[in-house]
Each structure stands twice: as C-alpha cells, then as structure tokens.
Structure 1
Amino acid sequence: MTDNARAPRRTKRLPAAAIALIAIVLLCIVAWRKDHAPNTDDAYVYADTINVVPEVSGRIVDLPVRDNQAVRKGDLLFRIDPRPYQAALDQARARLVALDKQIGLTERSVNAQQYNAESVKAAVERARAVAAQAADTLHRTEPLLDHGYVSAEEVDRARTAQRSAQAELDAATLQAQQASAAVSGVDALVAQRAEVEAQIAIAELNVEFTEVRAPFDGRVVSLHTTVGQYASPLKPIFTLIDTDHWYVVANFRETDLKNVRAGTPANVYLMSDTSKRFSGVVDSVSYGVLPDDGGLVLEGLPRVQRSINWVHISQRFPVKIAVRNPDPALFRLGTSAVATLDRTGTLAGAAQ
C-alpha cells in the first residue's frame, strides 16, 4: 500500500480521536461537577409563617388589608370593637378612685381610734398612780391603829379608798384593752387596691389587644373574611408570611451531603424564572426523615421487610438554604426551585 493511500485513513482517525478525547474531558468535568457541586430540582421556596389570631374576642370593625397584600412591620391588620374593653377599663379605674377615697376615710378613723387608745392609756397610768397612793396610805395607817394614834373609822376610810382606786385601775385597764382592740387598719383595703390595679393593667392590655398589628414585614394570605365577622382567639383570621427571610428547602441524596454543613455556599434559581440566579448559604441540614419502608419499630421490635431491593435508592434529606438576595416579585411560598451546593467553598473554608 502506498503512502498516498494511507493518508486518507489517518485523516479519518484524527476527528474520531478528537471526539473521543472531548467526550472523556466532558465526562470528567461532569463527574467533578457532580462530586463537588451536587444539585437537585427536588426543592421549593419556604418562609416562616404565623396564623394571625386576636388575643381578645369581638366583632371586627376595621380591616384595612386585603388578600395577598404586602404589609410593613407595625401596620394595622385589623381592629376589634374596643367599646366593651374600654368600658371595663373605665369601670376598674372608677373602682380605684372610690377605693382610694375609702382608704382615706378609714385612715382618719384609724387615727381617731389611736388617739382614743392613747388617751385611755393615760387614764390607766393616772388610775395606777391613785391606786398606788391609796395602798401606801393604807399601809401607813393600819399600824397606827394599835397604838391609838388613829381611829378605826380612819382605817376603814383608807381601806375603802384603796379598794376604790384599785377598782378604777381595773376599769381603766379594761377600757385600754378595748380601745386597743378597736383600732383597725387599712391593710385589707390596700390589698384590694393592689387587686384593682391588676384589673386595670389587664383591662388596658385588652384594649391594646383590640388592635392587631404586623409583627414583621410580610404578606397577607388566606384572608377569607371582612368587617363584621366575630373573631376569637380560637380561629385564625389569615396567615402572614415573613418576607424578611426566604429559604429554599432542597432534598439532596445522602450521598451528596458529605462536607455539607451550615455555611456551605449554594446557588438557586426558581422554575418561574430560570434566567435569574440567587446566592445563598446552607442554614441547616435535617437530621431525620421518616423511612418509607423497613426499620419501623412495631410493639418494641424493628420491622424489616423480607424482600430485597436489587437497586438501593439513596435517602433524601432536606437542606435548608437561606437566600441572600431574594427577589420579592418572584419568591412565593412553595415555588419550585433548583439548588446547587458548592462543596469546594466548604472545603476551602475548613482548610483555612
């Protein structure tokens, strides 16, 4: 075979070798990408939500928001008729005023009782002094009777005076005890005042609770009522989505979670607009899911199926990704998303 005949064959082999080389390079890139940047389309947008319920019951008299409306922190969401709670507050305040006046009158009465008790105590001291003097006179007079210095009549008068003074002392002591016992206090009324003050604080809080305001920037959803509806703490009025913080919850295979931890960089995009990319960081990785089959505990023993699956499917665990630059116009709760993790960023951070 001549050299001219071999040339076309070499020319034909070169493109085939180049294609094979390119295919190998692409396969290596895909494998490296798959290993260092796993991705999944089993993901959705998530945000924290609260059920907005009133703290007090009553008729809704003002509802300035509508369904799917964006609200700012502190905006009025709805107002409940405050009149019953305002009336309860006014009543409690009136009770406090009346009680303060009653306490004032009682304090004056107590002061008068204390003055009377002090006066009776002084009378007791005076009667005690008179009784002591009468007893001394009797003790001096009785020995003189035997010597004839005093008459029996004088001794009898001294004895009578001593007995009378002692009787007056006993009566004054009893009156002093009665006066001391009659002195009352305002402790019970002061305790009632503390109770009324607590009632006023509760009434003021109930009046404040008639206005429900947004605790954070959010969006109203599932609003299916209007002014005139009776609201109670047992039934939500609507749901409020926290639009300050958006997340993407992506279900990754357990084989993709190596070196994935809080702080791992991530990139996401939404199925509603695949042209926009959003950066994020792993907030947390779930530590448990409910298995579909096998391993369940039944009556204290694990239940394991007898059949063997020839192809073992990797379990998926939710990875919560905090989005750094969400677009408020695109991010909706439950929107389908695609997430990609950058495990090289985690490895570089760990190396540092």
Structure 2
Amino acid sequence: MTTTAGKVSKKKTWPAIALVLIATALLIFVIALLDRSPRTDDAYAYADTTDVVPEVNGRIVALAVHDNQAVKQGDLLLQIDPRPYQDALARAKASLVALDRQIELTQRTVNAQQYNAKSVQAAVESARAAAVQADDTLHRTEPLLLQGYVSSEDVDRARTAQRAAAAQLNAARLQAQQAAAAVSGVDAIVAQRAVVMAEIAIAELNLEYATVRAPFDGRVVSLKTSTGQFASALKPVFTLIDTRHWYVVANFRETELKGVHTGTPATVYLMNDTSQRFRGVVDSVSYGVLPDEGGLALPGGLPRIQRSLNWVHVSQRFPVKIRVENPNPELFRVGTSAVAVLNPGRGNAAEHG
C-alpha cells in the first residue's frame, strides 16, 4: 500500500513541477523581451501648439473659425476692424504727397536763389573789370599832367572814376555774399520724407496685422470669444494645435534607455483605439527631470515624473519624445493616453546622434 501511494504522489508532483518550470521559462522570456523592447503605458499624445495673438488692437469684426475646427495654412482666422489702420495709411500717404509738393516748390526757390547768386557774381566780375580799367586809366593819366598833355581836370575825373569803380566793386561783393547766404536747401525736408516713408511702412504693416491667418495646418482649441469682442495686442485669443506633426511622449525607466537614441524605431498605439498601431522614431530623449527628493535646486521648467513607490527606491523615469509616422488625424488628440514600445536593436546606426 505504501509503494502504491508513493507512486501516486509522484505522479501528482510532476505536473506541478512542470508548470513551475514553464512559468519560470515564460517569465524569463518576457523579461528578456521587455529588456530588448522596453514598453510603457505611461505615455500620451502630444503636438506643438501656439497662441493666436493679434499684433494690433481693435474690435473683432469677423471670426472665421469655431472651436475645434481644422484649418489650413493661410486660412482666415479672424479680422480686426481695419478702418483705423486704413485711415492711418491714407493719412501717411497724404503727408507724403504734401511733402513731395513742398520739396518741389522749395527746390524751385532754391534754384532761383542759385540763379540770383550767379547773376550777382557776374556783376562782381563786371565791377572788378571796371575797377581795373579805372586804375589803369588813372595811372596813365597822372604822368601826362607833368608833360602838359592833360589838364588837372582830366586827372580829377580819372581819380573820381577810379574811386567810383572801387565802390561799385565793394557793393557788388556785398550783394554776392548776401545772395550766397540766401541760398537754402532741401536736405531738411528730404529727411522729413524718410520719416513719412517709415510711417507709411508701419501703417501698411499694422493694416496687414489686422487680418490674422493660420501660420500652419492645425486645429483651433480654447476659443472663448466671438465677433464684437475687443482684441488687445499681444493677448491670446485662442490656441492653434500644429497637426502637421504628432508625437507620443513616453516616460521610460532610466534602466531601459540603454541603446535608445534619436532615430530608434518605436511602435505606439492610443488607448481610444487599441486596434491601430503606428510606427514612429525617437525624436529625442530628455536630459533632465525634476527629482522628488529635496536637496537639489533645479529649474522649475523641468518635467516632474512621479515615482510609483515611496517605500522602496525605484528607477527614475525620463520622457522619450517619439515622432509618429502617418498618424490618424481623427484619433490623435493632445493628452490622449498611449502605449509605446521601443526597438533599440532595429535602429539605424547612422542616425545615432
């Protein structure tokens, strides 16, 4: 009876041992698989965003989009009342026309002053020639008085003519100086023209800013305004998600990042539809997170990754940014829960950065 019971006991023990061995083998296989292809469900979908910020003040007269609407690059987003900026542009252009007219008239005056100065300078030359001639006449006449060829009256007339010619020359020189001093210029007005041209450029730019268009393909979110609302410059009206590029940001343990670099292949899927898999590549691996432990002051802008246990030391997690190839635009939303699997062994060595 004892021998038979022992045989029965051994028969019952072998299946249990086999089950333990199979479970152990499966566990080793899973651990090895996870070691080669790290996986995490601590991930979410991400896309770059930008605030739509008007660069001029004004009342919104047209709001061409609604919340969560998809838009294309160049589509009209909103229109700020352009009339104040149209008036400013018209006023600046009118100032330019008036200034050009003033420059033209001033140039005519300057030309007349220059012609007058040249005329007076010619009179100076004429007076100088007359003075030279009067001097020569006096010098020829004075010696002839002693020889009796001329009378004293002739000499007096020559002296008087010489003094008159000298006086006329001095008067002509003074007139020439006055005429030269009266010649003005247009430099100051031309400088004003440059200022008006700058005002026109600013007015044209402000008028262009009154029409806000989509800078890229995206989707409107956080729209909480309507037509008639006053928009202030540099204050966001709504947010635009850049749907041209989608990412999954996955937090992997530091022990899983060996061999992971820019270009490492990855597979991701979203929790809102686990049946669709998407290929991707690692865009970048974070080089800093804000640790939970105190004693180390780091910039507050670093991401904070909560550790799952506080009673035992666990590996820190670092964000890995994965660029998704051919994402489904109907599924991807910023913040959607995701699962990411990395394949370091399949990466292109040439892309290792």
Structure 2 match to 1:159: 159
Q: Is the 8 A contact 1:259 1:347 kept in 2?
A: no
Structure 2 match to 1:46: 46
Structure 2 match to 1:335: 336
| In 1: Cα distance, 2:311 partner to 2:5 partner | 53
Greater shift, 209-218 or 284-293, is seen at 284-293
Cα displacement (A) at 1:311: 2.9
What SS is found at the alignment partner of 2:347? helix
| In 1: Cα distance, 2:335 partner to 2:160 partner | 108
Structure 2 match to 1:315: 316
Residues 1:256 and 2:256 are matched in the alignment: yes
Structure 1 match to 2:223: 223
Q: Is the 8 A contact 1:265 1:346 kept in 2?
A: yes
Greater shift, 76-85 or 13-22, is seen at 13-22
Cα displacement (A) at 1:216: 0.5
Q: What is the TM-score normalised by the length of structure 2? A: 0.89
Residues 1:125 and 2:135 are matched in the alignment: no
| In 2: Cα distance, 1:84 partner to 1:93 partner | 14
Matches of residues 96-135 of structure 1 in structure 2 within 5 Å?
Answer: 96-135=96-135
Question: What is the letter of the counterpart of residue 23 of structure 1?
Answer: A
Q: Is the 8 A contact 2:263 2:351 kept in 1?
A: no
| In 2: Cα distance, 1:347 partner to 1:202 partner | 51
| In 1: Cα distance, 2:47 partner to 2:297 partner | 33
Cα displacement (A) at 1:12: 6.2
Structure 2 match to 1:304: none
Q: Is the 8 A contact 1:47 1:243 kept in 2?
A: yes
Structural RMSD (CA): 2.5
Residue by residue over 1:81-132, the C-alpha shift from the partner in whole angstroms, topping out at 9 and shown as x without a partner, is: 1111111111111111111222222222222111111111111111111111
Q: Is the 8 A contact 1:96 1:197 kept in 2?
A: yes
5+ residue gaps in structure 2? 299-309
| In 2: Cα distance, 1:215 partner to 1:11 partner | 75
Q: What is the TM-score normalised by the length of structure 1? A: 0.89
Change in Cα spacing, 1:348 to 1:22, as seen in structure 2 (3 Å) is farther
Q: Is the 8 A contact 2:249 2:320 kept in 1?
A: yes
| In 2: Cα distance, 1:314 partner to 1:174 partner | 98
Cα displacement (A) at 1:11: 6.9
Question: What is the letter of the counterpart of residue 321 of structure 1?
Answer: I
5+ residue gaps in structure 1? 299-308
Matches of residues 272-291 of structure 1 in structure 2 within 5 Å?
Answer: 272-291=272-291
Greater shift, 322-331 or 95-104, is seen at 95-104
Residues 1:206 and 2:206 are matched in the alignment: yes
Greater shift, 326-335 or 175-184, is seen at 175-184
| In 1: Cα distance, 2:349 partner to 2:229 partner | 58
The number of equivalent residue pairs is 340
| In 2: Cα distance, 1:36 partner to 1:193 partner | 72
Residue by residue over 1:165-217, the C-alpha shift from the partner in whole angstroms, topping out at 9 and shown as x without a partner, is: 11111111111111112112221221111211111111111111111000011
Cα displacement (A) at 1:287: 1.2
Question: What is the letter of the counterpart of residue 134 of structure 1?
Answer: A
Q: Is the 8 A contact 2:55 2:234 kept in 1?
A: no
Question: What is the letter of the counterpart of residue 58 of structure 2?
Answer: G
What SS is found at the alignment partner of 1:251? strand
Cα displacement (A) at 1:156: 2.2
| In 2: Cα distance, 1:115 partner to 1:242 partner | 68
| In 1: Cα distance, 2:25 partner to 2:159 partner | 137
What SS is found at the alignment partner of 1:296? coil
| In 1: Cα distance, 2:273 partner to 2:311 partner | 39
Greater shift, 15-24 or 256-265, is seen at 15-24
